Amino acid sequence: MIQPLVDNHGRRMNYLRLAVTDRCNLRCRYCMPATGVTSMRRDEILTWEELHRLCRIFTELGVEKIRITGGEPFVRKGLLPFLIELTHLPDYPEIDITTNGTLLADHLDALKQIGVRRLNISLDSLNADTFYTITRRRDFQKILQAINKADTLGYKVKINVVVIAGINDHEIPDFVRLTRDRKWTVRFIEPMPFDGAGGRYKSLLSGDDILARLRRQFDIEPVSNGKLAVAKLFRVPDFQGHIGIIYGYSRRFCDACSRLRLSTRGELWTCLYGGPVLDLGALLRTGKSDGTIKRAIRGAVDKRLSDGFEAERSHQSSTFDSMVAIGG
């Protein structure tokens, strides 16, 4: 019987966000500078075999869901064969994917055969010019096509929108209207300081600000989303989909956080705001046994800080890494 992975505050860790690459084909201004960030060397990045071993170890520790992230996961060659291998794990986890959608459309049929059912797709504007302002790339139509194809194929689609005051906040009502006739969940996300350049977003539009705007324009009602959910969910009566707010900067969900993050070089993060706490890549590459690695993971989880504010106070630098380096 698996002994659950529980932190020192009684939170069960059953969700792993796995970054398979630090590379991305967009240059979102809330994620990295216009010039990009220095990519890891090939020998720094864990191989697919090393990632598979760590996924097996985490499932043996009780992880039930693995979300594939990046960077942009579809930038790395070999992703689909890796996902197929994950389905062969004895404790087969739920596999979900977070993607910017630019390379998604051509993989949707294969992903469905593998068993992927949930997709989180980033789309910060419904206007091509505003999309370019935010991402510095011209891939707007590719993402729309991927979202519509995913919907046609029956995927559960969540659209993630990072709301930036003065840039795309005027589009909040348009995003809400996407849920009128579609069973999508549109989630509005507070910007966070993970841009690799010390960003603190003085023009931050908080989750409460977003909620106030929603209430001024729509008759919204709360939706039960479970105690462990990151987003606060709402719906407009007679609309098919849902609206979510993720208080990523305000950190409203720390008391129920069940997630661990693994960077593409094998660093374990127990909180975004606190930095890596364990180098699993080094343990793998120095020949440590599965048992030793499991004990190290349990030890790191047992020292987890209470929330993102305590973690930020422990952070050694005034600048946070870019999200592509951490794992989105």
Please check whether residue 5 is in contact with residue 12, taking contact to mean a CB–CB distance below 8 angstroms: yes
pLDDT, mean of residues 11-22: 97
Structure confidence at residue 191 as a pLDDT band (50, 70, 90): confident
The neighbour count for residue 224, using CB atoms within 10 Å, is 7
Over residues 125-159, the pLDDT tens digits come to 999 999 999 999 999 999 999 999 999 999 999 99
Over residues 221-233, the pLDDT tens digits come to 999 887 667 899 9
Please check whether residue 55 is in contact with residue 86, taking contact to mean a CB–CB distance below 8 angstroms: yes
pLDDT at 328 over 90: no
pLDDT at 273 over 90: no
Cα(295)–Cα(319) distance, rounded to whole angstroms? 31
Over residues 280-323, the pLDDT tens digits come to 999 999 999 999 999 999 999 999 988 778 888 886 665 555 55
The neighbour count for residue 256, using CB atoms within 10 Å, is 12
Contacts of 20 (CB under 8 A, 6+ apart): 51, 68, 69, 70, 71, 73, 76, 79, 82, 264
Of the listed ranges 65-69, 73-77, 180-184, 309-313, the least confidently predicted one is: 309-313
pLDDT of the residue at 320: 57
DSSP one-letter string for 6-65: B-TTS-B--EEEEE--S--S---TTTS-TT--PPPPTTTSPPHHHHHHHHHHHHHTT--E
Cα(166)–Cα(126) distance, rounded to whole angstroms? 15
Q: Distances from the Cα of 202 to the Cαs of 23, 25, 286, 288, in angstroms?
A: 27, 27, 44, 45
Q: What is the CATH number of domain 15-326?
A: 3.20.20.70
pLDDT of the residue at 321: 59
Q: What angle do CA 239, 241, 243 make, to 5 degrees?
A: 105
Nearest one of 9, 113, 35, 51 to 327, comparing CA atoms: 51
Q: Where are the domains of the chain?
A: 15-326
pLDDT of the residue at 324: 60
Please check whether residue 156 is in contact with residue 118, taking contact to mean a CB–CB distance below 8 angstroms: yes
